[in-house]
Amino acid sequence: MSHQPLKCLTEKGDSPKETTGNGPPNLAQRNLDTFTREELLREMKELLKENHLLKETMKLNEQGLKGRFEELSAWTEKQKEVRRVCEIQSKEAKEQLMALTHENKKLKEVLGKLKGKTERSFQDPPGDPKAVAEQEMEQLKTQVAHLQAEMADLRGIVSELQHKLKSSGHSQDSCVEIRMAAHLK
């Protein structure tokens, strides 16, 4: 074996007695010139074993980290899908609520007009038109009650969807906000 690397080491001013930081501690305590060939082979074998164990440990750690990363990626994708579905459902519920609110407003206007006709029909002589107007009035009242019940159900659905969005841990700016005008209540 060549001893030239040892001379270079000592020429730079480094002490061969300093710890190397790697390998068995007894290697750092002795001068490499004092090792016999068998001792150097034994030390090299120990270093190779240690190196192999470290590689295996790193490989296992890497596999564990990769598995954890895959789990987190799958969880993130699932959360994105859940959020997307909630946003779609929330949007649909909002659109349906707005349509029903508009329809309810129109029906209230029609009901108001019919109430006016009914009051005028009381002044007219009794007859067939009064009975027809009353029947129409009852039908409209039933429709209004039905629409109000449907609107209450939709408000419940919207509230539930908002709660799900808030409980899923998303930041406020990433959620779809559903605001209802005060006149809808």
- Amino acid 146: pLDDT: 87
- Amino acid 7: pLDDT: 44
Q: What is the DSSP letter of 13?
A: T
Q: What is the DSSP letter of 31?
A: -
Rounded Cα distance between 173 and 78, Å, is 20
Residue given tokens 């006016």 in the structure block? 116
- Amino acid 76: pLDDT: 96
Whether the CB-CB separation of 83 and 168 falls below 8 Å is answered with yes
Using CA atoms, how far residue 16 sits from 4, 36, 39, 45, 117, in Å, is 13, 16, 17, 21, 112
Whether the CB-CB separation of 35 and 44 falls below 8 Å is answered with no
- Amino acid 5: pLDDT: 46
- Amino acid 101: pLDDT: 92
Rounded Cα distance between 143 and 117, Å, is 18
The model's pLDDT over 117-126, given as tens digits with 9 standing for 90+, comes to 766 655 555 5
Residues of the chain whose pLDDT is less than 50?
A: 1-18, 27, 173-176, 180-185
